[in-house]
Chains A and B, each alone.
Chain A
Amino acid sequence: MAYEEIVVKKPLPLIALPCLSVAAFLLFWEWIVVSGTVPSVLLAPPSQVFTVFMDKLGNPNPDGAILAVHAWTSLQEAFIGYSLSLLVGIPLGLAMGWFRIVEGLIRPIFELIRPIPPIAWIPLTVFWFGIGLTGKVFIIWIAGIVPCVINSYVGVRMTQPTLIQMARTYGATDWQIFHQLCIPSALPMVFGALQIALAYCWTNLVGAELLASDTGLGYLITMGGRLGRPDIVVLGMVCVGISGAILGFIIDCVERRLLAGIRR
């Protein structure tokens, strides 16, 4: 079957307005600092942030490491913590959705730990693991595991009862129904968790680095604040935002590839 593609023409202002608004925003930002409306000790204009960015690519001063090292540290921590939370969270959530014993044993503990904001764990992890990699991986793991468990659990629970009954009628065992019916039907929900968990991990990574760290993008922001260098603070924020957006984009591509056969 061939469909004729319907092209809806956007009116010109709708195409031009977004570009104009971003340009206006950047110009306004530049202008309020250059004109002195906002003193330059409080905010750095975009041009200066760009200069600092070029400088930080090769210059370890004043915070002790070049930009690539900070970014690499953050990415490394995020990657390990995120993968661990997927590895533990998804199977746990799937099992909680299907097996009553697992649900009964894990759920109360999960509900106790869930409302604690992950960055509240920072002091304990500093006591336990110091300010190195392990502590931050632990915090990111705690942050990422919650959406993984919840989404996988709900995914299994949302399996159509009709399908389960049909499988039972045909004599499928519990285990067969679980891994041939419930897991595939939970997959879209599980993949939904990938994005949410990534956002959680990234936010809490920055929090962990702000408070207990000696390298990383969050540390760059803290140092900028302590040194009274708004250009470095803004640079750190921009880097965190951009790398978060890139990671999100990668996960989105992976998700699309994996879900290629499944209708959402």
Chain B
Amino acid sequence: MGGSSIANETVGVSSGREGITFYQIITNTYLLYTVSLISFFLVWDRVAAWQVFGDSLARPHIVALKLYDLTQIKFAGTNLGGHIWASTQRVLIGFSLASFFAVPLGLFMALNRYANAIVKPIFDLFKPMPPIAWVSISILWFGVGEFSKIFIISIGTFVPCLLNSYNGIRLIEPELYDVIKVLGGSRKDEVVQVSFPASFPAIFAGLQISLSVAWTCLLAAELMNARDGMGFLIKRGMDTHQPSLVLGGMILIALMAWLSSLLISLMERKLCPWKRSIDNL
């Protein structure tokens, strides 16, 4: 059973010297990845071609063609780039607005127990409420325009941002404070030299979570009511029964969600390089 599990990674030095066996070939990671991806698309294509779900699943190349078509023609007033930008803009505004207020508030709550005693209970009332539940009331309050979508995204992203920056300071090892006290630091030194830098990784983890929540909220808002954006494409595909349009919209939104989370990780790597060892788990 050489090389079939991670047990061998821990003793990997000796296992490499036995020459290439059949088992090592079939457990080659890249080979497996390729096989997996090819079989995924093959199964998708076959399931669609054999109409397992009737005409409600489009074959992969039809989805690709559909997306290509959308870049060429105007669909509901704008082409594909316009729809992607409309959605991205909403996420950007809502996300930056929420993190701009939530992160400092979370830090402040963790550092000042009186602020915490006032804000935390109200926050605890709202915490278990899924952000998507706000969709209806935000439409009632702000109509179907841009602002109601940004409002939902902000509400959804506010919670994880605040919670993580709060916990980021709460969970700092007490030894770090002891060190700075022994070295003769004041309360200000404690906050600036220990609390802020040590809470960075947690804040970034919060931003990552927020971002994925933001895309979910955006999608919910756009599915409920929108005239452009990726959620609109999906909704239009649903209403006119075009599985290729629905799948195209899903792929686009997954791509954008993935790209934006990549951007945050890059930023994190720049801003707190000491966390890298935890990342490479």
Contact = CB atoms under 8 A, between A and B. Distances in A.
A21 B40 contact: no
B41 to A, nearest CB: 10
Contacts of A177: 5, 7
A80 interface: no
B176 interface: no
B132 A22 contact: no
A98 B117 contact: no
Range of interface residues on A (Cβ < 8 Å): 35 or more
A-side interface mostly: helix
Given A21-B121, A109-B37, A117-B253, A225 B136 contact: yes
Between B134, B219, B241, the greatest number of chain A beta carbons within 10 A of the residue's beta carbon is seen for: B219
Interface string B1-19: 1011111001100000000
A241 B249 CA distance: 30
B36 interface: yes
A163 to B, nearest CB: 10
Interface string A150-193: 00001011100100110010000110011000000000000000
B257 A13 contact: no
B246 A225 contact: no
B238 interface: yes
Interface in B146-197: none
Interface stretch (B25-33, B101-109, B198-206, B263-271): B25-33
A98 B253 contact: no
B137 A234 contact: yes
A119 B135 CA distance: 14
B77 interface: no
Size range of the chain B interface in the assembly:
35 or more
B137 A225 contact: yes
A236 interface: yes
Interface string A224-253: 110010100110111011101100100000
B62 interface: no
Nearest to B219: A117
A206 interface: yes
Contacts of B121: 18-19, 21-22
A3 interface: no
A21 B122 contact: yes
Given A157-B281, A207-B132, A123 B33 contact: no
B140 A230 contact: yes
A31 interface: no
B18 to A, nearest CB: 16
Interface stretch (B68-76, B92-100, B123-131): B123-131
Given A101-B32, A123-B246, A127-B243, 11 more contacts: A14-B113, A21-B119, A21-B121, A100-B4, A100-B27, A120-B234, A120-B250, A123-B234, A210-B132, A237-B129, A240-B129
* 6 pairs of A and B residues whose beta carbons are closest in the complex: A104-B32, A225-B136, A123-B238, A127-B56, A17-B117, A241-B129
